[in-house]
Every structure is written in C-alpha cells, then in structure tokens.
Structure 1
Amino acid sequence: MNKNSMILANIGSGSSYLPDIAEMLIERRDTLKVAEWRLMDIDEYRLNCTGKYVQKMFAEAGMPTKITLTLDLDEAVKDADFVITTIRPGMSDGRNMDETIPFKHGLIGQETTAPGGMIMGFKTIPAMLKIAKAIENHAKKSCYLINLANPSGMVGEALERHSNIHYACLCNGPTVIRTAMKAIYGQEDPNDVFVEVIGLNHLIWCKVFVKGADVTDEAFEKLLEWSAEHIPALRREFVEPALEKFIGYIPMGPYLEFYYDYDTNYNDLQNYSGNHWEMMVNHVRKHVGDVLDDLQAPEHATRAECVKIIEKRTFELYEKLDPRAYQLACNTRGGKGYGEAGVTLMNALWNNTNEVFSPDVASMGCIQEFDPHCVCTTTSLVNASGIHPMCFPKLPGHMMSKIYAAKEYEKLAVEAAVTGSYHAALEALVANPLVNSYYKAKSALNELLVAEKEWLPNFADAIAAIEKGEEPNN
C-alpha cells in the first residue's frame, strides 16, 4: 500500500453527519493521508449541501485532499481503498412508520428492533448488497467496507452471507462506553483500561478491567455517576444496579432493557416516542441558539417527525455554509461518534496500529457454542492484516439464550430481505424474542409492508396480495 494515496468513498454522503467524518479526517491528517475523498448520494440536493460544507471545512484546515461529488456508485468506489456507508433508504418518513406502526399492534416501535427494525433491514440490505457488488467489481481487492448504517448487525449478516468483500459494521455504543471508562479510570494511562464487549448489535454486554482486575460492578456505579454529570441523556439508557449485578456484565442500553423488563420499557418507549419537540428545542436553544424558534411540530410529535423538521432546517443551514448546521445535527440526532468509530477503525487497518474495537463481523468462534460463520458484535484486535475477534469465556446461559434467539431472527430476516419471502419475514418476527404473538407479528408486518412498499420492491408480490385481502403465497 502507498500510504500517501488513499482513495476513500462515502456512500450516503447526504447524511447530516458527514462533517463528523470530515472532522476525524482533519484530526488524523498527519497519519491518515487521503488523496481523494469521493462523496456519493442519490439525492443531489443533500449531496451538494453537505459536500460543499465539508469542502469548506477542508479548505479552512488547509487539507490537500481532493473532494469529488458524484451520483454514480461505480465512479465513487473505483479503485477505492475504503468505502464508508451512511445510507438510510426511506429517510425520516420511513423511520416514523418503523417507529409508530408497531405500537398499533402491541409491539415495540423502534427503528432497529423488530418489527420496525426488520423493515428497516428490508430497505437497507438490498442497497448494501448493491454497494458490495460495486466494490467487488470496481474497488481494490483489499478494499474494506465500513458500514455505519442500521440495522448494523443484520447488514453484517447479509454481507457475510451474500458478498465476498472485506467489511466491518459499526455502532457508536462500544466507542461511547470505552471513552467513558477511559475518562473514569484512565487519567494516568488510558491503556490501563480494557473493555470487553460481546453479543449482537443492540444486544450487547460488556465487562471492564483496570490493570487486569475485573471492576465491572464498580465501573457501572461510576458510569451512572459520570453520565449524570457529563452526558445526562445517557443515564436513562442503563438498567438498575441490582440487575447489572445479577447479570455480571453491564448491559448496554437502551435496547437491553427491552429484553429484561419488556412491559415497563414498552410503556416508557411509547410515552417517550411522542414527547420530543419541546425537549429538543430547549436543548438546541442552549447549545446552538434560536435556529428552531420559528418552527413548530405537530402535537405529540414523534422523534422521527421532529428529526424530519430539524433535518430540513439543518440542510437549509448547510446550503448557506452556516456552521450551526452541524451543531444542530449533533445536538438533536444522537449519532455523533460514528465518525470517530469509523475513521479510527480505518486508521487501524491502514496504519497497522493494533487497536481494540467491537465491530459486527463473523464470530470465528469467539463465542463458545455459537456458529463461527454468524455475525456478532465482539471485541477484536485490528491491524493491517485484518480484524481478529478475541475469544471469550463461556457466557451465562440466559445471555446465550437471548443471543441464539435474536440471531435466528436476524438470519431469517436477511433471507426475507434478499428473496422477498413473506413466509421468512413472518417467521423472523415470530422467532424474535421481543415479539410475543404470531397474530400481532402478522398484522404489524402486513401494515408495514403496505405502508413502505415504495422502498420494498422485493416484496411486490406479497404486498399486492395483502392489498387485495389475500394471503401471500411466497
């Protein structure tokens, strides 16, 4: 590899978080030299807004990197060393349906957890496999796809089963917990702190070691205190200390709460999903100023509805090259940190830095008695030779039970996404440990498929049958 000639492609560059990646590239300019950064999106307006904004960032930083904007996928990935994906088929309208329709059927409404998360996977996986095929055909053979799009674990499972590329799928959760633990315990030497992360995407647990000693229980208590002071919104994402001590691992929230106390968290999430606008406006006014004060949201607007309104204002500001655009995204969306996770992993692969990450990759036997070909979220050593999952001691039985069930759901959901099989989609929901009724699963699935049919061409036959009041036969 010529370390001075990296070609980096971003697919989904109309993301309001593109400047997060730009910040990380500027920060690592001395060791991660990018000759060309190609920005691709299917939405020309959004691409131009974010693209010109990061061009301005690079110019002000004196970065020599060539930034190319394109609507052509093949052109974007040609001879690329790395491809970062930040796509969201269906945009905010799709997210709103993913999060609200399940509640009508007595199921959790959440964009990465079934059934809404499964539909998100149905929208995302075909697009990701198209990107993977373009990488196979046009990028360098050594090219890595670094995926930041949700549902990350399901996307990873699809890439593992239906492509031949190098990949890593990432969530910012492990990065957040490692950063917090180094802040708490690593003032003298950050290398004293080691965080093990294991599970599946949005079903992960961790242990904390300081100078080799297991301090998990103490670390959780300190994490609650630290988050209350530094990131108050983070506190609501953790379980109570008594439950953490029972498990022996820190369950990474808020998703783990669904698995340990469904009823309470179902009600909390339903209430939380309809009470966002005032909270968001107040937070933005404190950190960004009055950029939202002239806007209004519908009464009891969901988070997705609020995000859609804020995103429109964000892009109006990006179009004017107003720096408040990026601050608005950072203070309302919750996705900051993905850029750090993606660029740091890329740096480890490029510069052989032997760093520890927790990507979604094939388990390779790191979880005992778990299929080594299945994708999991696992602590891994990353260097120029690749991503190397670390082996774990035998996990507690109840954790393995949840992992097995959730993985069967993911496998069936990937099959459905690729084939358009209605039966596999319904079977996936019935297999999911958070879905407690075949009848609720079926009614939610039918409504979601019809509502989002624009983004689900693989399910055209099944959707046509549902709309006629017939039973899908595939």
Structure 2
Amino acid sequence: MKKFILTIAGGGSTYTPGIIKSLLLNKEQFKLEELRMYDLDAERQNKVAVVVREVIKEMDPELKLTLTTDPQEAFTNADFIFAQMRVGKYAMREHDEKIPLKYDVVGQETCGPGGMAYGFRTIFPMVQLIDYVEKYAKKSYWIVNYSNPASIVAEAVRRLRPNARVMNICDMPVGAMRNISAILGCKREELTVEYFGLNHFGWFTKAYVNGVDRMPEILEHTKKHGLLLPDMSKVDVQHSDPSWLKTWGNIKYLVEMFPEYLPNPYMQYYLISDHIVENANKERTRANEVMEGREKKLFSAVDRYNDTGEMDTSAFYVGVHGQFIVDVAMSLAFDLRKRFLVIVENKGAIANLPDDAMVEVPAYITSNGPEVVRVGEIPLFYKGLMEQQLASEKLLVDAAIEGSYTKALMALTMNKTVKSAFQAKKILDDFIEANKGYWPELK
C-alpha cells in the first residue's frame, strides 16, 4: 500500500486534532508514512501537539509525527499539504470584526470589510507557502487549502501562482448540507446538491436524495425554522453555539423574501446587513466567543494533561471541517472522482460570468484535479450580486499587488455591506493602523 507524507500548515490551529483524528479514522485506506505539523508559532503548536500525540498514541502509534517551524523540514518530499493558516491569529480577527461595527457595518471574519482585512493579511503568506512547497515537496504535491477568506486567497493565487497545484475548499456548504440531510432524515453522503456562487456567497438550487429533488421540502422548512432542528448539538457541536444558531435561523428571512433557492448562510451579511448590525454585540463578537470557548477548552485540556496526565477527549471532535478535507485529499490521491463543492476558475462553468472568476460549484475530484460540473446561465438577480462581490474581491487583490490605497478604498466601497465611501474610508484607515506589520504598505 502506498504511504503518504502529509503536512498541516497551521499546525497550531485548534482544528488540527480533529483533522488528524479524521485522517487516522481512514488509515486503512489513506496510510500516512509521516505526519508533519508546521507553524510559525512554535509555542502554540507544541501545546496543540500534546493533544495530537494522544490521538496518535491511541489510533496509530507507529505513525511518525514531526513538529517544525522550518519550511524545508516541513515540506521536503511531502505529498499533501493541508493549509489552514490564520495570519494574526484571533487577536487580529477581533479587530477585523470590531472595527467595521464601530461604523455600523457588518463585523464578520470572512465577509464584508473584516474578511477583506483578513484576506489582505493572507495573500502574500499564502504565496510564500506555495513557493516553499514548490521548492521542497514532491512535484505531484497537492495543497488542499482551507485558509480564509477563500475567494480572495484563491483569486490572488490564480494571478500570482497560476500553475500551483492548489485545491481551494470551504466547509460551510458541507455544514449546510449536514443540516439539510438532518432535516430530510438522510445521511449527508446520500445527498447530492446543485449549487452556484462564490465562496461564502452562493445558493443551493437542488437537493437530491435517491434521485428525487427534495429542495421544496427544505425551502418550506426553512421559511418556518431556518436551517435548524430542535437540538442542533445532535447535528454538529461545532456549529451549535449561540452565534451559529442565530446564523442558521436568519436564513428564514432570506427564503421568505427570495424563495427560489436556498442561500448559503453567510448571505445574511450581504442581504440583511442592517438586521445583522442591529442585533450585534459590538463589544463581544464571534472572535471572543471562540477564544472563550473552543480555544480556552482545548488549551485548558492541555494544561490539565500536563498537570495530571489525564486527557479530556471532549476538548476537540471530528466535525465536517476535518472530514471534508480528508475526503477531498483521498479523492485526489486515489482518483475517486467524488463529487464536492469546490472553488475553481470559472472557465464557462457559470456561462454568464467572466471566465477568470473564482467560483464555487460542484466538481468531480480526480488525481488531476477537479472536473467541473457546468451550471449554465444564472438569473439576473444572482448574477448582479455576484458581479458586485467579484469586483470588490478583484479590486482588493489589485490593491495588494499594486500597493494601492485607492484600489483598497474602491474594494471596500464596492462591497455590498458598506453603505458609503465615507464609511469605507474610515474603516480602511482604522484597518491600516491595526494591521501594521501585516499589510503591505498602501500609497
């Protein structure tokens, strides 16, 4: 059996133990010769590794684990790289979310100005990562990229490293599919969807179970309850805390107004941004919720283990995040041609959008990459929204490449969550101050 060398770039993420457990649950089919964790923050990575070692000891004790901050050690002869970098960590995420809210604009990690700030920080570190992989890894490498915001990162990579072997993915549609499956009473693997959009900006159009489109049932349920069931903790722990319950619930407003398709949950930030801001706590955002929840729980478990030798295995879990990235990697490794929603260069997949748009659509994942399912033309309302968002994202990448303040201001002004150029300028100027040392200089 072939064995693989796999590197997790961003090894200090609290998601890492869940991803590794998902990998080891598939060890009979996807056997690892060596697992490497790579992160610039050695202290944080070493803490996460305490949990990882326990997972490996329980599930695959012969597996070699390497922790490193050295790119040559991390990527030499690697087959797969799972990229999940968070430049600036949660301290910068807090700025991303709270600065826009100060001006009554959506404050969110990947959407609106906050997502654009995050994207600006991530573009060049992602390019650097690709260069390291190109230099050291096997020529047949695949980078499976979770680094957010995925549309902006994918657009930058398309322009700056067009030949890189990068598969850009996002677990948000898979999370929605998990909810859809639970509502329909079927397994997620039994559900096949039709979907078009950009990352965090799209719509489900069909939901097939055993060849029958059950989208009408889902839309009817969503009008009443959103994408919620009475006890969401039984569906997925990761997406069942208060802010996520609100997000799943808000979809009902969108479906009531626009009943044709089921929107990605993050469309709430663009279509009902006034409602989102009015109901936001400007002093305690999602960043605080994560730092006080998932982050604190995992690192407290590490401290307890160091003190007592007892590991609290409830401190992490395998959710759709870990399962999805492993499923995609296995389809790439073994030419399984499994169907997933992925982010690809359009090239006619959505007939009435530009070929160079980075879109999120269904594709069959082969050892040579994605074979895209063509969507055809999309209706004017959705096309118009997507073109505006595309322009905003492309202008932001222009701003990063050119070091242009004007292009960055255009990008924020173009974004649908921002109401005026005055607002955009105040937010941009605050972001420049907050992101010193992270952003390229703008002139």
> Is the aligned partner of 1:240 residue 2:252?
yes
The aligned runs of 1:62-461 (5 Å cut-off) are 62-163=60-161, 164-185=163-184, 187=186, 193-207=191-205, 208-222=207-221, 224=225, 227-231=228-232, 233=240, 235-237=245-247, 238-240=250-252, 243=255, 246-253=258-265, 255-268=266-279, 270-271=280-281, 274=283, 301-310=284-293, 311-312=295-296, 314-321=298-305, 323-324=311-312, 327-328=314-315, 336-456=319-439, 458-459=440-441
Question: Against the structure 1 CA distance between its residues 355 and 416, is the aligned structure 2 distance closer, same or farther, given a 3 Å change threshold?
Answer: same
Which residue in the other structure is 1:279 paired with?
none
Offset, 1:177: 2.5
Offset from partner CA, 1:216-249 (integer Å, 9 cap, x none): 1212334648732241745532422773573411
Question: Against the structure 1 CA distance between its residues 236 and 213, is the aligned structure 2 distance closer, same or farther, given a 3 Å change threshold?
Answer: same
Letter in structure 2 aligned against 1:236: K
Q: 2: CA distance between counterparts of 1:245 and 1:433? A: 18
The 8 Å contact of residues 186 and 193 in structure 1, kept in 2 or not, is answered as no
Offset, 1:371: 1.8
Q: 1: CA distance between counterparts of 2:143 and 2:322? A: 14
Q: 2: CA distance between counterparts of 1:306 and 1:4? A: 42
The 8 Å contact of residues 357 and 380 in structure 1, kept in 2 or not, is answered as yes
Offset, 1:213: 3.6
Query: Which of 21, 25, 28 is 1:27 aligned to?
Result: 25
Offset from partner CA, 1:133-176 (integer Å, 9 cap, x none): 11121112221111112111111111111112111222211212
CA-based RMSD: 2.3
**Aligned partner of residue 230 in structure 2, secondary structure:** helix
Q: 1: CA distance between counterparts of 2:289 and 2:253? A: 32
Question: Against the structure 1 CA distance between its residues 303 and 193, is the aligned structure 2 distance closer, same or farther, given a 3 Å change threshold?
Answer: closer
Question: Against the structure 1 CA distance between its residues 424 and 165, is the aligned structure 2 distance closer, same or farther, given a 3 Å change threshold?
Answer: same
Question: Against the structure 1 CA distance between its residues 173 and 191, is the aligned structure 2 distance closer, same or farther, given a 3 Å change threshold?
Answer: closer
The 8 Å contact of residues 254 and 263 in structure 2, kept in 1 or not, is answered as no
Letter in structure 2 aligned against 1:201: N
Q: 1: CA distance between counterparts of 2:414 and 2:334? A: 42
The 8 Å contact of residues 18 and 316 in structure 2, kept in 1 or not, is answered as no
Tell me whether 435-444 or 414-423 shows the greater mean CA deviation: 414-423
Q: 2: CA distance between counterparts of 1:37 and 1:114? A: 36
Offset, 1:306: 4.1
**Aligned partner of residue 83 in structure 1, secondary structure:** strand
The 8 Å contact of residues 216 and 248 in structure 1, kept in 2 or not, is answered as no
- Provide TM-score, normalisation by structure 1: 0.83
Identity %: 29
Q: 2: CA distance between counterparts of 1:171 and 1:31? A: 23
Question: Against the structure 1 CA distance between its residues 351 and 63, is the aligned structure 2 distance closer, same or farther, given a 3 Å change threshold?
Answer: farther
Q: 2: CA distance between counterparts of 1:80 and 1:244? A: 48
Tell me whether 335-344 or 201-210 shows the greater mean CA deviation: 335-344
**Aligned partner of residue 39 in structure 1, secondary structure:** strand
The 8 Å contact of residues 7 and 81 in structure 2, kept in 1 or not, is answered as yes
> Is the aligned partner of 1:49 residue 2:59?
no
Query: Which of 11, 14, 34 is 1:13 aligned to?
Result: 11
Which residue in the other structure is 1:470 paired with?
none
**Aligned partner of residue 10 in structure 1, secondary structure:** strand
Question: Against the structure 1 CA distance between its residues 74 and 372, is the aligned structure 2 distance closer, same or farther, given a 3 Å change threshold?
Answer: farther
Offset, 1:79: 1.4
- Provide TM-score, normalisation by structure 2: 0.89
The 8 Å contact of residues 352 and 378 in structure 2, kept in 1 or not, is answered as no
Question: Against the structure 1 CA distance between its residues 403 and 397, is the aligned structure 2 distance closer, same or farther, given a 3 Å change threshold?
Answer: same
Offset, 1:410: 0.9
Q: 1: CA distance between counterparts of 2:401 and 2:37? A: 27
Tell me whether 423-432 or 212-221 shows the greater mean CA deviation: 212-221
Q: 1: CA distance between counterparts of 2:273 and 2:182? A: 32
The 8 Å contact of residues 254 and 268 in structure 2, kept in 1 or not, is answered as no
Q: 2: CA distance between counterparts of 1:327 and 1:388? A: 38
Offset, 1:192: 5.3
For structure 1, the residue ranges without an aligned partner over 5 or more in a row are: 275-300, 463-473
Tell me whether 413-422 or 135-144 shows the greater mean CA deviation: 413-422
Q: 1: CA distance between counterparts of 2:433 and 2:316? A: 31
For structure 2, the residue ranges without an aligned partner over 5 or more in a row are: 234-239
Q: 1: CA distance between counterparts of 2:55 and 2:303? A: 14
**Aligned partner of residue 236 in structure 1, secondary structure:** helix
Letter in structure 2 aligned against 1:315: F
